[in-house]
Structure 1
Amino acid sequence: MLNEQEIINFQQVIGYKFKNIDLLIQALTHSSFVNEQKINKKPDYERLEFLGDAILEMVSSEYLFKKYPDKKEGEMSKIRASLVCEPALAFCAEHIELKKYIQLGKGEELTGGRNKESIIADVMEAVIGALFLDGGLQESKRFIDTYVLTNADSMAMFNDSKSLLQEFVQAGGLGQIKYEICGESGPEHDKIFDVRVWIGDKNMGEGTGKTKKAAEQKAAYQALLVLKNK
């Protein structure tokens, strides 16, 4: 259960003090936590997630519309999908350590819910919804601009980073790509995989994830950032 200091800390991290603190608590509360409460049940984040999802789509659409005046609708839709997909939102959430503030039920906690990208992404959207209700569109937009759209050009590569890396490496004749599992942690039902990506004999990136594929995707993304900044 969140304590008062954790609530204060999270507000400091995101740079906003809620007038209605119940909105923030709701945004950070999973249905499994609510279901385990016998009395004084509070609502979970799902309604706020619904609202936040719509706001995120609107703000990201406006951003892309202004940023890419020559791109067609289909191209912008594809970029937006990469920016707001579950893995990308969960990746962005790492900057504010969001997962440590989520209220989960004991069962969900034991089965690895705190590391599930789907839950983390949902809570990101719920926080956006809570910010909208408490501080208006300006505050929710500030959060999105700061934590989702800051590196939009780079994040547009995130959803398809493995295939993009393959294309980039082949076009440049940079050598063979090899993904190596360099570590595993957690119980059998809640594994976290550490993956390293090699291009030729060079270690070009590392990633972690709940699945090998997710970890490889993150490692490939890191490698793309390095290669494109050379």
Structure 2
Amino acid sequence: MTNPTYFSSFEQGYPYLCSKLGYTFKNPQLLRQALTHRSFDPKKSYERLEFLGDALLGMVIAEALFHHFPRHDEGKLTRMRATLVRQETLVQIAEKLELSNHLILGAGEKKGGGRHRASILADAVEAILASVYLDSGDMGLVKSMVQCWYEFLIREVGEEKVLKDAKSRLQEWLQGNKLPLPNYTLLDTIGNAPNQTFVVECVVAVTDCIPITETGESRRIAEQKCAERMINQLNKLEKPKSL
């Protein structure tokens, strides 16, 4: 199945998203609600599901860390959990699931760049988790889904690769290879405050490394997203040091 910029209706995108999730709903309206922002329908938005999903995610991640890192104390485990459930990490998962293609937004939120707004994407991930739990009644399924989403992230947090933010890790890599610091340029600001979308470009002085452009609801978020993608690109170039 092709991957369009976005689906024109929930029904059109439903089979594609189910295939990404690895789960088909008995009650598809639960998934629809998990994708619905309050700008489209405040009475049927994902907010209650997001509340439940946040609790489910925190519990599953805490249990996974407890078993994966038996020698870590409570303080270290708490910091690791906070890293794994923070907005930036949830956005990475949303991007893998291509959730921006499926969000149900009001006209104003669409125009204001809501399809790529980090807070909306992160909330939708948690809401989807709750919708799967309520539809299936199977906590084991929820755990398996989270473990699939977080397989590599849990390993990386154990190696302390994601305890630092992406901009810091990118800067350290470049300094370690005696290269200039990255250059972040604000290309555009779309919409009016407080519903603005910032377009940022990141450039590094590395041969064969192309500029990265990202959007975010703040300049900082857009820069972090650029840095994360730049890290991935640099790693694929097989440079002497890994980020």
* Percent of residue pairs identical: 34
Unaligned ranges ≥5, structure 2? 1-7
Q: Is 2:19 aligned against 1:12?
A: yes
Matches of 1:85 and 1:204 in 2, distance apart?
A: 28
Unaligned ranges ≥5, structure 1? 36-41
Post-superposition offset of 1:176: 2.4
Report Cα offsets for 1:137-191 as digits up to 9, x if no partner.
1222222122234433346517612223334544x3533212243955x845454
Amino acid at match of 1:5: Q
Report Cα offsets for 1:188-227 as digits up to 9, x if no partner.
5454524224256673873512244223323333454526
Map 1:92-171 → 2, pairs under 5 A: 92-135=93-136, 136-154=138-156, 157=162, 160-170=165-175
Distance 1:197 1:143, change over 3 A: farther
Corresponding residue SS for 1:58? helix
Matches of 1:201 and 1:65 in 2, distance apart?
A: 42
Q: TM-score, normalised by structure 1?
A: 0.82
Q: TM-score, normalised by structure 2?
A: 0.78
Is the contact made by 1:98 and 1:120 (CA closer than 8 Å) also made in structure 2?
A: yes
Equivalent position of 1:76 in the other structure: 77
Equivalent position of 1:179 in the other structure: 183
Equivalent position of 1:208 in the other structure: 214
Amino acid at match of 1:162: K
Equivalent position of 2:202 in the other structure: 196
Distance 1:112 1:205, change over 3 A: closer
Equivalent position of 1:38 in the other structure: none
Distance 1:204 1:71, change over 3 A: farther
Amino acid at match of 1:151: L
Higher helix share: 1
Is the contact made by 2:56 and 2:130 (CA closer than 8 Å) also made in structure 1?
A: yes
Is the contact made by 1:182 and 1:196 (CA closer than 8 Å) also made in structure 2?
A: no
Matches of 1:167 and 1:85 in 2, distance apart?
A: 22
Matches of 2:231 and 2:65 in 1, distance apart?
A: 21
Matches of 1:101 and 1:12 in 2, distance apart?
A: 13
Post-superposition offset of 1:87: 1.8
Q: CA RMSD in A?
A: 2.8
